[in-house]
Each structure stands twice: as C-alpha cells, then as structure tokens.
C-alpha cells in the first residue's frame, strides 16, 4: 500500500553531492532520501522530469524502504567503470577511481563534441587498458546515419556493445539491420526506461541487450518482470545514484537468474561525497546489501531550504499521481 504523504515528508532528506568530474553537463547531483520500515530508499528523478515520470521513481523508493528486497542469487556484483566525455588527457585520472574494473563504459555523442573526440577518448582507453571490455553510450545522440558511421569507426577498437545509439525504437531497428554484419550488439536504455511500453523495443527487434534501472522502472520487481518478459540479456545500471540507490540496483542484479554483463553500478566513484560509506568498486565489484546512511553526512550535504522546499512540493505532486492510480 502507498504510505501516506505525511510519512514520506517527515522522513525526507534532500542532499546535494558534488561530482569528481563534469558528467552529462552537471557538476552536482541532487537526490532525496526517504526512510521506511525496511530502511532508506532513494528518490532522485532528474530535475527536468514532470510529476508523472517522477512518480515511477517514487514507487521504487517506496518499494525499497517499505518492503523486503528479493532473495539474492549472488553476493557481489561485477561493475563497469564509467568514463564521462572527457579529453584523452583526463581519461587515466578518471579510470583510476575505479578499482580493477574489467569493463569501461565510455560516454560518446556529447553535445558540442565530434566523432573525432569520441574515437580519441575510446582509443585512449584501449591504449591504457588493452584487455578491458569497452562499451559506448550515446544516450540517443545520433541519427541512424551518424550512428552507423560512428560504430564503423569505433568497432575497430573492439566494442562489447553500443548503448542507445539512436533515440527511437524504429531508428534502433533500422540501425541494427545495417550493422548486423559488424557483430556489434545494440543495447537499449532510454527505449526501455522512458517508454510507455518497454516491450516495444523487443517487439521491433531493435536491441540485443536491455539496460534496466531500478528507479525509472518503478522498482526491482517490475524490472525483473520486464527482463523475464523480454527474454534478452540484461545489464543493471544506475542514474548517477547515491550509494543508497546503487544498493537498490545491486539488489536487482543479485536477483536476476543470469548476469552475463558487468553492471553500471560503480558510479559512486564519480561522486566526491556520498550519504553513506561510498559503494565504490573493489576489485571490480560491489557487495550486495543495504548501506548504512550516515546522519552527519545527510546534515553536511543537505540542500538549501529553498531546494528542499522544491523537492517537498515535487514529492506531494508525485505522490498525488500514485494516489490517483490506486483509486
């Protein structure tokens, strides 16, 4: 059952955490935490999301804080390093924050950059770590022609897969047909987590891999159902969560019957501060289990009164969406 709004507001803590390096245009991450009978849950929809979309993320936070997590099939989750769209000279310093990860996800198609910049960044990773697995993530930033050109240039550096190269499902399907002979799999992220029908990408034959994130999909149980229905291998990832949200993602990864790919749950390494002892990779993996939130860190990194009031209003609006859906 949906907790009353007063219980959520009473336990709400809003924090503002600095990033170690600029990531997708931001240098800080705002997040809200709520506490329920099972512990802390994270609610951190991106600031531009409306109440409808933020409500799905709230469902995930409520699930984690008010209900027990599913049984775990594994105790640790292998994770990838995440490399923002930095210059080649900055690659080594960023990757040094990730302890012995065997996979690197490289951000590409950054606004204001070129394919040359992307190739140089990926080539630097390959030079520094010759045996690492490399996947690239365009966040839907290319059209079909641009994506095909980019993949043909980047596949020479041995790609594990390319994540969300184009924005729409029809574009992904067309691109998949064009590059089939290259043997570079396509992973769908936004086409799953932002879609009204996450199965549309499967029905269209538009992806080889699903990227699933707990918060945007409304919780672990809903994500598990999507993966089961899709019948495709899954990669569990995060949305630059605090370690509370990352532990929720780890719970999903631990519950999956199979885990063929390293997961995108090592992003606490991109934060300069956290609300708990950071869930950063050790020997390329993170542990499964709840983290202990530090009350002193909550206070130290608390958002301003103005920002907290904004999040409280947002919480009321998202809760109203869930209340209406229950009627």
With b for 16 or more beta-carbon neighbours within 10 A and e for fewer, the 4-19 pattern comes to ebebbeeebbbbebeb
Binding-site residue positions for Mg(2+): 137, 163, 189
Active site residue 194: no
Binding positions are 137, 163, 189
* Cα angle 59, 64, 70; round to 5: 115
Catalytic annotation present for 105: no
d(Cα 283, Cα 306) in Å, to the nearest integer? 40
Active-site residue among 97, 105, 107, 176?
Answer: 107
- Helix, strand, coil % in the chain, rounded to nearest 5: 45, 20, 35
- Rounded to whole angstroms, the Cα distance separating 115 from 79 reads 26
160's enclosing H/E stretch is strand 159-163
CA distance readout (Å), 183 to 123, 162, 179, 186? 19, 11, 7, 10
Q: How far apart are CA 266 and CA 243, in angstroms?
A: 9
**Which of 213, 222, 248, 314 is the catalytic position?**
213
Q: Tell me, what DSSP letter sits at residue 276?
A: B
Q: Catalytic residue numbers?
A: 107, 213
């Amino acid at each position: 059952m949906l907790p009353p709004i007063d219980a959520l507001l009473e336990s709400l803590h809003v924090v503002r955490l600095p990033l170690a390096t600029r990531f997708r245009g931001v240098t800080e991450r705002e997040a809200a935490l709520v506490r329920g009978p099972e512990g802390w849950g994270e609610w951190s929809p991106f600031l531009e999301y409306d109440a409808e979309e933020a409500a799905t993320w709230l469902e995930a936070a409520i699930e984690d804080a008010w209900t027990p997590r599913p049984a775990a099939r594994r105790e640790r989750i292998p994770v990838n390093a995440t490399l923002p769209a930095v210059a080649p000279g900055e690659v080594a310093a960023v990757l040094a924050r990730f302890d012995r990860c065997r996979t690197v996800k490289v951000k590409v198609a950054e606004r204001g950059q070129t394919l040359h910049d992307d190739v140089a960044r990926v080539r630097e990773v390959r030079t520094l770590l010759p045996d690492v697995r490399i996947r690239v993530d365009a966040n839907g930033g290319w059209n079909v022609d641009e994506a095909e050109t980019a993949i043909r240039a980047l596949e020479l550096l041995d790609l594990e897969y390319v994540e969300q190269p184009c924005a729409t499902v029809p574009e992904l399907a067309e691109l998949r047909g064009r590059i089939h002979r290259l043997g570079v799999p396509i992973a769908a992220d936004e086409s799953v987590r932002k879609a009204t029908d996450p199965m549309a990408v499967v029905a269209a034959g538009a992806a080889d891999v699903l990227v699933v994130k707990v918060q945007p999909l409304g919780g672990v149980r809903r994500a598990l159902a999507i993966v089961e229905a899709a019948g495709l291998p899954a990669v569990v990832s995060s949305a630059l969560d605090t370690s509370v949200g990352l532990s929720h993602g780890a719970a999903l990864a631990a519950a999956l019957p199979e885990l063929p790919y390293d997961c995108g749950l090592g992003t606490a390494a991109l934060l300069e501060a956290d609300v708990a002892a950071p869930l950063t990779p050790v020997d390329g993996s993170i542990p499964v289990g709840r983290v202990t939130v530090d009350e002193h860190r909550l206070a130290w990194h608390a958002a301003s009164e103005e920002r907290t009031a904004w999040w409280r209003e947002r919480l009321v609006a998202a809760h109203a969406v869930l209340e209406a859906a229950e009627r």
